[in-house]
């Protein structure tokens, strides 16, 4: 009977065939979906894992990455020692990840608390800009709305808000500059016609109604 990997590590193993390793023909088993448990055990208890046949290989598959594997070395395996070492490595790795996540959450909370006083007036200014002059946000309107909707801002959120407000202010200034230019005399003559003014206003309203996102997304409407 063909030997199988002594510990499954929560994944499915398949016999890939016989391959030569260090001059010997050995059965090679592959795990197509290696688990975190396998990676943790291999990293934390590498010596006993490798002497028990576990490793990573480019044999028996055509994927770009190495596959988790088990070689049937034909030697006795001290299963209790292997299991104890693997469990210890898995437990320690899980604890390290938990501590890393806890530290990251603590840093995030500290950053949010630090940014909050500065964020409050900028959030209010950005929300007012979206409500009163959404056209000034241009294609960044959706991004601005998402940012205002976020419960907590980090330094990155604050930087994004500053950028959005700066761009909007620039758009407003450019629009004012264009509107302040003296139009051709013929425009004044046509504007004297009440029907022309009414038609222009109607056209503007129709075009505006076609594009409810205020030109945030280029879609050929409005």
pLDDT for the residue 2: 65
pLDDT for the residue 29: 97
Q: How far is CA 100 from CA 97, 107, 153, 168, in A?
A: 5, 11, 21, 39
pLDDT for the residue 220: 61
Q: Is 215 exposed, middle or buried (0-12, 13-18, 19+ CB in 10 A)?
A: middle
- Range of weakest confidence among 69-83, 97-111, 186-200: 186-200
pLDDT for the residue 129: 95
pLDDT for the residue 221: 61
- Would you say 100 and 35 are in contact if contact means Cβ atoms under 8 Å apart? no
- Would you say 69 and 42 are in contact if contact means Cβ atoms under 8 Å apart? no
pLDDT for the residue 55: 96
pLDDT for the residue 215: 61
pTM over 0.85: no
Q: What is the pLDDT of residues 16-56, one digit of tens each?
A: 999 999 889 999 999 989 999 999 999 999 999 999 999 99
pLDDT exceeds cutoff 90 at 8? yes
Q: What is the pLDDT of residues 98-155, one digit of tens each?
A: 999 999 999 999 999 999 999 999 999 999 999 999 999 999 999 999 999 999 999 9
Q: What percentage of the chain exceeds 70 in pLDDT?
A: 94
First to last CA, the chain: 74
The whole-angstrom separation of Cα 109 and Cα 117 is 14
For residue 206, what pLDDT band results from cuts at 50, 70 and 90? confident
């Amino acid at each position: 009977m063909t030997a199988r990997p002594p510990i499954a590590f929560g994944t499915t193993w398949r016999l890939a065939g016989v391959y030569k390793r260090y001059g010997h023909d050995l059965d090679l088993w592959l795990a197509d979906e290696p688990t975190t448990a396998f990676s943790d055990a291999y990293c934390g208890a590498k010596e006993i894992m490798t002497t028990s046949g576990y490793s990573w290989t480019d044999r028996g598959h055509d994927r770009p990455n190495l596959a988790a594997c088990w070689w049937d070395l034909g030697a006795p395996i001290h299963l209790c020692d292997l299991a104890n070492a693997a469990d210890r490595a898995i437990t320690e790795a899980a604890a390290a990840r938990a501590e890393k996540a806890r530290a990251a959450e603590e840093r995030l909370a500290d950053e949010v608390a630090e940014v909050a006083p500065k964020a409050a007036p900028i959030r209010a200014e950005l929300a007012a800009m979206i409500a009163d002059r959404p056209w000034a946000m241009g294609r960044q309107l959706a991004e601005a709305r998402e940012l205002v909707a976020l419960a907590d801002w980090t330094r990155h959120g604050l930087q994004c808000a500053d950028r959005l407000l700066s761009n909007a202010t620039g758009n407003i200034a450019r629009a004012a500059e264009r509107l302040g230019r003296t139009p051709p005399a013929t425009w004044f003559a046509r504007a004297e016609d009440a029907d022309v003014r009414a038609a222009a206003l109607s056209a503007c309203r129709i075009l505006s109604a076609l594009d409810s996102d205020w030109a945030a997304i280029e879609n050929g409407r409005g």
